[in-house]
Amino acid sequence: MQGYTYTKGEHYPMEHLVFKVAPEDVERYLEVDHEIWTLKEAYAPGFDHIPFLYKEVWLNDNKPGEIHLIFAWESIESWREIDQKEYQAQLIKEFDEKFGRPYELIRVVQNEENFGVHRYSRFERI
């Protein structure tokens, strides 16, 4: 099929977090999330490259203020290295100070599934 690619047989660990914020705070949340979480995990100390393949942000129109953050990690090892408690605590502190509004982490899908969810294939328009 012209204009599309299909890749299968992959094994990229997936991180799926679900947050709840006041609907009027969504844009600000996403700005601060990008600045603190996306960029600081992308350029984390100890890595000579970005350790995740991509990050997507999904919003739920049926539940205003619900934000889904989806990461495809290059490997579980890279993910675990980024997930070190001290580094994560530093990022949480920076995020909380900069965002300054209430938010709630309502689901951590990878924990519910014991880190078993991975990307196997991808069909996409090019």
How long, in residues, is the chain? 126
Q: What is the pLDDT of residues 91-112, one digit of tens each?
A: 999 999 999 999 999 999 999 9
User: What is the spatial distance between Cα 30 and Cα 38, in angstroms, rounded to a whole number?
Assistant: 10
The band of 59, judged by pLDDT with boundaries at 50, 70 and 90, is very high
Tens of pLDDT, residue by residue over 20-57, are 999 999 999 999 999 999 999 999 999 999 999 999 99
Q: Are 55 and 38 in contact (CB under 8 A)?
A: yes
Confidence of residue 83 (pLDDT cuts 50, 70, 90): very high
What CATH number belongs to 13-119? Answer: 3.30.70.100
Domains of the chain by residue range: 13-119
23 close to 65: Cβ distance less than 8 angstroms: yes
CA 76 to chain centre: 14
Query: What is the number of alpha carbons within 13 Å of residue 81 lying toward its C-beta?
Result: 16
Distance of CA 42 to the CA centre of its chain: 11
